[in-house]
């Protein structure tokens, strides 16, 4: 079938308005939150699972790729249509279908915005726990695909801990349920395999998610440090003392500078680092934990420990943290955020290494991260217009990721592999491991039609890429 005939068939399925082909329309889908771009050929916006299935069947008959997209906030190029085909936006599947407080679950379509789910149940004293810092924009479907985390996953776990079942469209167009409305469905945990599969196994068209009861009290503390090392030591000491805060986040001087230059919230500009720590529970527990935390921070030399006195003050402290990536624009034309992980106890070493990399490459790095999870987010600040700068940035980030692996960690904590990290996956897995994963993929999607070019290195590269630096996939431009 020729291109025009294909577009005609797609319009019959979803309606004329919902098939985009003009450059000025599709250009907004050429990139996610990462620095990787590829111009889509055709963007299709179905309204429901039936339309998704019909589009997938058509793509199957025509043997063309289908790239699912939620809100496009991903940071690994996962929703970028690297090999053309149909870019399938799930944005119109945005209904909360059911809220069942007795069973503490909600059934949602994938385009529902993460924060809107919590807002829908907050009045009844519930919330949806996975809270990526992008939660005001990212979709539940994207969260499921990336198994996303967030500041509060230290206490609550990541998305997979909160998804009981998913309705998915397979590459045949068949609509099936994996998991269900109760925990621990019998048989293989296919829902578990699906969560975190980055759009390579099928399209999520509904999800059953857990709702959590809001805690009686929430205590939030900002600890201010004049040096970075004591702040990092404090993170290790807090967890070593047996306290598991709901959130334990760190921002360094560069990040504070960005936040205060972009959308100020009152973080002290002269600090080397701040820790944002939150505890939740019954009043006695929160008060006791805050007092213990204050003691640990002070023992490590915190020059100030500020406890939020009102919900407004708490929200302001979080506004700075959740807006930190966006604020990087106030201090640099471009930034490249990395997502390495190390065991918490290795945080001092990795942060020293990040500092060394920054000096050696002569580039500024702003660190804002889920310190309690050992999940780093070095934001490498740069200017794309300067020749050779991007290459240095990619080289610097490769060094950081390699160091994370050497320290017993991983190349991604929550942003996924997507396009960006597939060249590094050989640092963690053998060729045989990757082939086993490919067999799982083919069991769901025999022709690798969903989100091709993601997750796995190109076949000839599997063995070769070990230890090599990342390359942008051929055909992509930035």
List residues near ligand FAD by CB under 6 A. 32-33, 67-75, 78-79, 90, 110, 132-134, 138-139, 141-143, 145-146, 148-150, 198-199, 203-204, 325-326, 414-415, 418, 451
> Please, what is the minimum distance in Å from the beta carbon of residue 284 to ligand FAD?
30
Complex with ligand FAD: residue 300 or 334, whichever CB lies closer: 334
Residue (of 325, 320, 341, 373) closest to 130 by Cα position:
373
**Residue, CB closest to ligand FAD:** 142
> Please, what is the minimum distance in Å from the beta carbon of residue 387 to ligand FAD?
27
User: What is the residue-wise DSSP string for 44-101?
Assistant: E--SSHHHHHHHHHHHHHHT--EEEESSS--SSSTTS-TT-SEEEE-TT---EEEEET
3-state secondary structure of 415: coil
Answer yes or no: are the C-beta atoms of 120 and 70 closer than 8 Å.
no
Residue (of 149, 276, 155) closest to 223 by Cα position:
276
Complex with ligand FAD: residue 47 or 292, whichever CB lies closer: 47
Token pair belonging to 169? 């469209």
d(CA 239, CA 242): 5
> Please, what is the minimum distance in Å from the beta carbon of residue 110 to ligand FAD?
4
> Please, what is the minimum distance in Å from the beta carbon of residue 475 to ligand FAD?
18
Complex with ligand FAD: residue 87 or 121, whichever CB lies closer: 87
Complex with ligand FAD: residue 132 or 230, whichever CB lies closer: 132
3-state secondary structure of 178: strand
3-state secondary structure of 274: strand
> Please, what is the minimum distance in Å from the beta carbon of residue 128 to ligand FAD?
13
> Please, what is the minimum distance in Å from the beta carbon of residue 45 to ligand FAD?
12
Question: Across the strands, what pairs with 98?
Answer: 107
Answer yes or no: are the C-beta atoms of 438 and 456 closer than 8 Å.
yes
Complex with ligand FAD: residue 178 or 302, whichever CB lies closer: 178
3-state secondary structure of 342: coil
> Please, what is the minimum distance in Å from the beta carbon of residue 204 to ligand FAD?
4
Complex with ligand FAD: residue 142 or 219, whichever CB lies closer: 142
> Please, what is the minimum distance in Å from the beta carbon of residue 114 to ligand FAD?
8
Complex with ligand FAD: residue 156 or 361, whichever CB lies closer: 156
> Please, what is the minimum distance in Å from the beta carbon of residue 321 to ligand FAD?
10
> Please, what is the minimum distance in Å from the beta carbon of residue 215 to ligand FAD?
20
3-state secondary structure of 108: strand
Complex with ligand FAD: residue 32 or 445, whichever CB lies closer: 32
Answer yes or no: are the C-beta atoms of 276 and 400 closer than 8 Å.
no
CA distance to 50, 59, 78, 362, 478, per residue, from 38 (Å): 28, 19, 11, 30, 8
3-state secondary structure of 287: helix
Give the contacts of 236 (CB within 8 A, at least 6 positions apart).
344, 345, 347, 348
Residue with tokens 């290494």: 353
User: What is the residue-wise DSSP string for 180-198?
Assistant: -SSSS-SSS-HHHHHTTST
Complex with ligand FAD: residue 164 or 203, whichever CB lies closer: 203
Residue (of 473, 338, 477) closest to 416 by Cα position:
338
Complex with ligand FAD: residue 32 or 280, whichever CB lies closer: 32
């Amino acid at each position: 079938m020729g291109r025009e005939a294909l577009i005609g068939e797609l319009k019959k399925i979803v309606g004329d308005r919902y098939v985009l082909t003009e450059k000025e329309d599709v250009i907004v889908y050429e990139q996610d939150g990462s620095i990787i771009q590829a111009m889509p050929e055709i963007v299709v916006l179905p309204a429901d699972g039936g339309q998704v299935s019909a589009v997938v069947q058509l793509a199957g008959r025509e043997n063309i790729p289908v790239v699912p997209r939620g809100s496009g906030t991903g940071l690994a190029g996962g929703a970028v249509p690297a090999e053309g085909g149909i870019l399938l936006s799930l944005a119109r599947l945005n209904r909360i279908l059911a809220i069942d407080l007795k069973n503490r679950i909600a059934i949602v379509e994938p385009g529902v915005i993460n924060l809107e789910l919590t807002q829908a149940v907050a009045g009844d004293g519930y919330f949806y726990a996975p809270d990526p810092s992008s939660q005001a924009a990212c979709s539940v479907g994207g969260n499921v695909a990336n198994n996303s985390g967030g500041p509060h996953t230290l206490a609550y776990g990541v998305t997979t801990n909160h998804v009981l079942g998913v309705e998915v469209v397979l590459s045949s167009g068949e609509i099936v349920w994996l998991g269900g409305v109760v925990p621990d469905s019998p048989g293989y945990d296919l829902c578990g395999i699906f969560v975190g599969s980055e759009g390579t196994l099928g399209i999520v068209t509904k999800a059953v998610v857990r709702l959590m009861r809001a805690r009686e009290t929430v205590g939030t503390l900002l600890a201010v440090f004049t040096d970075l090392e004591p702040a990092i030591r404090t993170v290790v000491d807090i967890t070593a003392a047996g306290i598991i805060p709901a959130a334990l986040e760190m921002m360094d001087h560069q990040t504070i500078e960005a936040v205060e230059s972009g959308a100020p919230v009152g973080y002290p500009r002269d600090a080397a680092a701040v820790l944002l720590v939150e505890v939740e529970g019954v009043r006695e527990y929160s008060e006791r934990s805050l007092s213990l935390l204050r003691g640990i921070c002070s023992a490590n030399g915190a020059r100030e420990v500020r406890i939020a006195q009102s919900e407004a003050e708490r929200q302001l402290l979080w506004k700075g943290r959740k807006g930190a990536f966006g604020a990087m624009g106030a201090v640099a034309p471009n930034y490249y955020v990395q997502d390495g992980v190390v065991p918490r106890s290795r945080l001092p070493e990795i942060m020293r290494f990040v500092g060394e990399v920054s000096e050696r490459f002569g580039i500024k790095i702003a660190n804002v991260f889920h310190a309690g999870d050992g999940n780093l987010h070095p934001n490498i600040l740069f200017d794309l217009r300067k020749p050779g700068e991007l290459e240095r940035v990619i080289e610097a980030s490769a060094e950081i990721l390699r160091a994370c692996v050497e320290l017993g960690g991983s190349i991604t904590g929550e942003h996924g592999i997507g396009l960006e990290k597939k060249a590094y996956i050989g640092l963690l897995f053998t060729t045989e491991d990757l082939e086993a994963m490919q067999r799982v993929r083919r069991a769901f999607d025999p022709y690798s039609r969903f989100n091709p070019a993601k997750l796995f290195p190109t076949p000839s590269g599997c063995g070769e890429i070990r230890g090599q630096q990342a390359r942008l996939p051929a055909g992509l431009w930035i």
